[in-house]
Amino acid sequence: MWSGGWIGWKDVPIFHRDRMFERFQKYYQWEDEEKHSIHSCWERCIKGKFPNLLGKARKFAKARALKKGIEVGKDWSVTIPFKPQWISQDSWEELVKVWSTGSWQDKSSQNSKNREKATGGRHTVGSKSFITVRKEMDHTFKRRAKFGEFWLQTHAKKGSRPLDKLPVCSELADVDLVEVDDVEDINQEKNVDWVDTRAGEAYESYKKLIVKKYGDDISLHPEFDMELWSSVAGGTKKRRLYGTSNITDPYVVLTGAPAKPNTDSFPSARSNKVQQLEEKIDEFEQEKVAELERGKVEKQAMLEKIEENARLFAEMNEKLQLLSRN
């Protein structure tokens, strides 16, 4: 459904966004009262995937160009014949023009440098969401994956992750359901190759705090302590908690279960009033954006109508002149 030179989600007109969501609704069902929250989540998801999607498109075109012996430098116009199949030629050419500008290349270079300076926050789930990985682990284990297993699976490199140690193929799509409750080495944390230092340090710090708070007896330890993890992770930043992506309830991601009703251990267990206020703010912002987009569409339609009327007037004037000559 890609039909424009869209560099980011903000460039996609409201009309096209609505078309995409309508297509999405054909595959799923939900209660009417859930539509607003689902639409907001869907839009956040697509907005977040936009840069990665275009990055893959550039890599694809660049790889095909190199196979033909064509070097891709700052001038991306050489990739015009090598577009991905899912995007139209006109849209691809529009994108190529933007990618070839100095302003876009400077911004891209700066973003790359910023990512290199990042001190942590990496994971090993690829394009999958944390929720998807957790569901796959629960399905494979035939039980809810423990926090330690989930953290190792999402933040340890290949070979030291729990699912890599199963006596079957490590690809989740080919894994047979197996009982792993009694497998002693499934969750061995020795010689773990972490994806970055922050992942290992946060996990080790959390384990030490758990022992300090609840004692050495593991049977007395809770399934998960959100308050301790929040302190280890440094709290929320831009409504996100380290290790939980941008989901509303981090407890669901880290434990696979909704937060306990009486818990006051994490700031995200906010009152319904605060959540309702945030939803109203999001809805208000969406309405304002929609109004601006409608205004643009109406303005464009008016200009097109004026141009059409001018063309018809010119044709009529030309015919009148011919008649007067005759």
pLDDT in tens, 50-85: 888 898 999 999 999 999 888 888 888 899 999 898
Residue 54 and residue 104 in one domain: yes
Greater model confidence, 271 or 259: 259
Query: Which pLDDT does position 231 carry in this prediction?
Result: 86
Which amino acid is residue 234, in one-letter code? G
Does 201 score more than 90 pLDDT? no
| 214 within domain boundaries | yes
Does 90 score more than 70 pLDDT? yes
Residue 240 and residue 323 in one domain: no
Percentage of the chain modeled with pLDDT above 70: 74
| 122 within domain boundaries | no
pLDDT band at 317 (very low <50, low <70, confident <90, very high): confident
Average pLDDT over residues 99-110: 88
pLDDT band at 190 (very low <50, low <70, confident <90, very high): low
How far is residue 101's CA from residue 96's CA, in Å, rounded to a whole number?
Answer: 9
Write down which residue in 86, 117, 148 finishes a domain.
Answer: 117
R_g of the chain computed on alpha carbons: 27
Those residues with Cβ within 8 angstroms of residue 241's Cβ, 6 or more apart along the chain or in another chain? 229, 230, 233, 235, 250, 268
How far is residue 62's CA from residue 77's CA, in Å, rounded to a whole number?
Answer: 11
Query: Which pLDDT does position 154 carry in this prediction?
Result: 85
Q: Which tokens hold the place of 248?
A: 């509303």
Does 247 score more than 60 pLDDT? no
| 4 within domain boundaries | no
Does 21 score more than 90 pLDDT? yes
Closest-CA residue to 8 (of 83, 95, 81): 95
CB-count exposure of residue 154 (10 Å: 0-12, 13-18, 19+): buried
Average pLDDT over residues 161-169: 63
pTM of the model: 0.47
pLDDT in tens, 291-305: 776 677 677 778 778
Average pLDDT over residues 110-126: 67
Residue 265 and residue 164 in one domain: yes
Q: Which tokens hold the place of 273?
A: 């009033």
Does 259 score more than 60 pLDDT? yes
Residue 108 and residue 141 in one domain: no
Does 125 score more than 50 pLDDT? yes
Average pLDDT over residues 266-285: 58
**Which domain range does residue 279 map to?**
270-326
Residue 27 and residue 106 in one domain: yes
How far is residue 240's CA from residue 71's CA, in Å, rounded to a whole number?
Answer: 40
Query: Which pLDDT does position 248 carry in this prediction?
Result: 58
Average pLDDT over residues 156-170: 67
Does 225 score more than 60 pLDDT? yes
Query: Which pLDDT does position 177 carry in this prediction?
Result: 43
| 183 within domain boundaries | yes
Query: Which pLDDT does position 23 carry in this prediction?
Result: 92
| 2 within domain boundaries | no
Write down which residue in 71, 87, 117 finishes a domain.
Answer: 117
Greater model confidence, 287 or 267: 287
Residue 155 and residue 79 in one domain: no
Does 170 score more than 50 pLDDT? no
| 254 within domain boundaries | yes
Percentage of the chain modeled with pLDDT above 90: 13
- Give the Å distances, CA to CA, from 185 to 146, 165, 179, 266, 322: 14, 8, 13, 32, 93
Does 227 score more than 50 pLDDT? yes
Residue 176 and residue 225 in one domain: yes
Closest-CA residue to 268 (of 293, 295, 239, 232): 239
| 123 within domain boundaries | no
Q: Which residue has the tokens 């464009």?
A: 300
Residue 247 and residue 302 in one domain: no
How far is residue 226's CA from residue 213's CA, in Å, rounded to a whole number?
Answer: 13
pLDDT in tens, 2-14: 888 898 888 999 9
**Three-class HEC string of 248-288:** CCHHHHHHCCCCCCCCCCCCCCCCHHHHHHHHHHHHHHHHH
| 74 within domain boundaries | yes
Write down which residue in 254, 269, 284 finishes a domain.
Answer: 269
Residue 219 and residue 275 in one domain: no
Q: What is the mean pLDDT of the chain?
A: 78
Residue 91 and residue 22 in one domain: yes
Greater model confidence, 264 or 1: 1
Q: How many domains does the chain have?
A: 3
Query: Which pLDDT does position 182 carry in this prediction?
Result: 42
Residue 83 and residue 169 in one domain: no
Residue 240 and residue 194 in one domain: yes
